[in-house]
Structure 1
Amino acid sequence: MTIAPPRIGVLGLLLDAYKPLFPGIQEEQEEFVRRLLAEHVGIADFVFPGAAIDRASIEHIVAGFHVDGVDGILILMLSYAPGQHVLRAALDSPLPFALALVQPDETVRTDVDERGLTVNQGIHGAQDVVNTLLRGGVRPALFAGRRSDGALAAFLADFAAACAATADAHRMRIGAVGALTGMGDIVTDEMVLLRRLGPQVVHQPVGEIQRRVAAVGDDAVRARVADDRARFDIDPALSEDAHAYAVRLYLGIARWLEDNDFAGYTAHYEDFGADGRFRQLPLLAASHLMADGYGYAAEGDVQAATLVTVFQRLFSAAGFTEMYMLDHERDAVLCAHAGEANWRLAEGRPRIIHRVLTEGGLGDPPTTVFAPRAERAVLASLVHVGGDEYRLVSASGRILEQVALPGCDMPYFFFQPDSGAARMARDWMSAGGAHHQALALGDTGARLELWCSMNGIEHVRV
Structure 2
Amino acid sequence: MGGKKIKIGFLPFYIKLYDDIGTGARARGRLGTFYETLAAGFEELGFEVVRSEFCRVAPEFSAAVGHFEREGADCIVTWHAAYSPSLECVGALTRTDLPVVVLDTTETYDFGATQDPGEISYCHGIHGVMDMCSLLLRQGKQYAIAAGHYSESDVFQRTAGFVRAAVAARALRGSRVGSLGGSFEGMGDFLVSDEELKSHFGVTVVYPEEGELASILGSISDEETAREVELDRTNCYEIEPVDPAAHIRTAKNCLAVRRWTQKHGLSAFTANFRTITETGLTTMPFMEACKAMARGIGYAGEGDVLTAALLGALLRGFPESSFVEIFCPDWRGNTLLLSHMGEYNPNLICQRAGMKEMNFIFGKGENPVVSYGCYRGGEAVFINLHRTAEGFRLLASPVEMLDVSGDNFESRVRGWMRPHMPIAGFLETLSRAGATHHSALVYGARPEQIGFFASLCGLSCEII
TM-score, normalised to structure 1, is: 0.92
Q: Structure 2: give runs of 5+ residues left out of the alignment.
A: none
- Asked if structure 1 preserves the Cα contact closer than 8 Å seen for 2:176 and 2:267, the reply is yes
Preserved CA contact (<8 Å) 1:246 1:285:
no
Q: Are residues 1:414 and 2:416 paired?
A: yes
Alignment match, 1:181: 185
Matches of residues 92-241 of structure 1 in structure 2 within 5 Å? 92-108=95-111, 112=116, 116-177=119-180, 178-205=182-209, 207-241=211-245
Residue identity matched to 2:130: Q
- Deviation of 1:31 after TM superposition, in Å, equals 3.1
Residue in 2 that maps onto 1:320: 323
2:275 is aligned to: 271
Partner deviation per Cα, 1:397-442 (whole Å, 9 max, x = no partner): 2233446345x73312232222222111111011110011112234
Deviates more, 1:30-39 or 1:295-304: 30-39
Contact 1:304–1:436 (8 Å) recurs in 2? yes
The DSSP-based 3-state class of the residue aligned with 1:73 is strand
Q: How many residues align?
A: 458
Structure 1 unmatched runs, 5+: none
In the alignment, does 2:291 pair up with 1:256?
Answer: no
The residue type paired with residue 156 of structure 1 is T
1:298-342 deviations in Å (ceiling 9; x for gaps): 121111101221232232122222122223222222222222222
Which segment is superposed worse, 156-165 or 345-354? 156-165
Distance 1:187 1:172, change over 3 A: same
Q: Distance in 1 between matches of 2:211 and 2:386?
A: 30
Q: Alpha-carbon deviations, 1:116-161, whole Å to 9, x = none?
A: 4233221222222222222222242112221112412212321221
The 8 Å contact of residues 380 and 445 in structure 2, kept in 1 or not, is answered as yes
SS of aligned partner of 1:76:
strand
Pair 1:65–1:190, CA change in 2 (3 A): farther
Report if the CA contact (8 A) 2:339-2:413 is conserved. yes
| Percent pairwise identity | 23
23-32 or 349-358, which deviates more:
23-32
Deviates more, 1:239-248 or 1:153-162: 153-162
Alignment counterpart, residue 423 of structure 1, candidates 422, 425, 450: 425
Q: Structure 2 matches for 1:7-156, cutoff 5 A?
A: 7-20=7-20, 21-22=22-23, 23=25, 25-43=27-45, 44-108=47-111, 112=116, 116-156=119-159
Partner secondary structure for residue 147 of structure 1: coil
Partner SS state of residue 56, structure 2: coil
By how many angstroms is 1:218 displaced?
0.5
Structure 1 residue matching 2:411: 3-state secondary structure: coil
Distance 1:247 1:454, change over 3 A: same
Question: Is the Cα contact below 8 Å between 1:19 and 1:25 reproduced in 2?
Answer: no
**Cα distance in 2 for residues equivalent to 1:50 and 1:368:** 51
- Tell me the distance in 1 between the aligned counterparts of 2:286 and 2:332: 31
Contact 1:353 1:367 in 2 (8 A): yes
Aligned partner of residue 43 in structure 2, secondary structure? coil
Q: What's the CA shift for 1:24?
A: 5.0
**Stretch deviating more after TM superposition (100-109 or 291-300):** 100-109
Classify 1:226/1:157 alpha carbon distance in 2 versus 1 (closer, same or farther; 3 Å).
same
CA gap of 1:315–1:82, structure 2 versus 1, over 3 A, is same
Residues 7-33 of structure 1: CA distance to partner in whole angstroms, max 9, x if unpaired?
A: 111221111111132235445433321
Q: Deviations over 1:218-237 (max 9, x none)?
A: 01111111111112102343
User: 1:132, 1:461 → 2: CA distance?
Assistant: 26
Deviation at 1:355? 2.0
1:58-94 CA distance string (max 9 Å, x none): 1222222222221111111121111111222222122
User: Cα 1:236–1:428, aligned 2, differ >3 Å: closer, same or farther?
Assistant: closer
Alpha-carbon offset, residue 187 of structure 1: 1.9
Partners of 1:97 and 1:197 in 2: CA distance = 20
The answer (yes or no) to whether the contact 1:158–1:446 under 8 Å persists in 2 is no
* Residue pair 2:102, 2:143 contacting (<8 A) in 1 also: yes
Q: Say which of 242, 245, 249 aligns to 2:246.
A: 242
Q: Does the 8 Å contact 2:360/2:368 carry over to 1?
A: yes
CA 208–298 in structure 1, closer or farther in 2 if over 3 Å, else same: farther
Choose 298-307 or 335-344, whichever is displaced more: 335-344
In structure 2, which of residues 294, 298, 308 is the aligned counterpart of residue 295 of structure 1? 298
Closer/same/farther in 2, CA of residues 362 and 64 from structure 1, 3 Å limit:
same
- SS of the equivalent of 1:40 reads helix
Partner-residue secondary structure (3-state), 1:372 = coil
Q: One-letter code of the match for 1:425?
A: L
Amino acid at match of 2:232: D
1:181-208 Cα shifts (integer Å, max 9, x gaps): 3321122254453454443222334743
Cα root mean square deviation, aligned: 2.3
Aligned counterpart, 1:441: 443
Q: TM-score, structure 2 length as denominator?
A: 0.91
Question: How far apart in 2 are the matches of 1:347 and 1:105?
Answer: 40
Secondary structure at the residue paired with 1:269? coil
State the alpha-carbon separation in 2 of the partners of residues 461 and 127 from structure 1. 25
**Once the 2 structures are TM-superposed, how far is the Cα of residue 167 of structure 1 from its aligned partner?**
2.4
Q: How does 1:370-409 map to 2 (within 5 A)?
A: 370-385=373-388, 389-402=391-404, 404-405=407-408, 409=411
> Are the structure 2 counterparts of residues 274 and 238 from structure 1 closer, same or farther at C-alpha, using a change threshold of 3 Å?
same
Structure 1 residues 284 and 199, CA, compared in 2 at 3 Å: closer, same or farther?
Answer: same
The Cα of 1:215 is off from its aligned counterpart by: 0.9
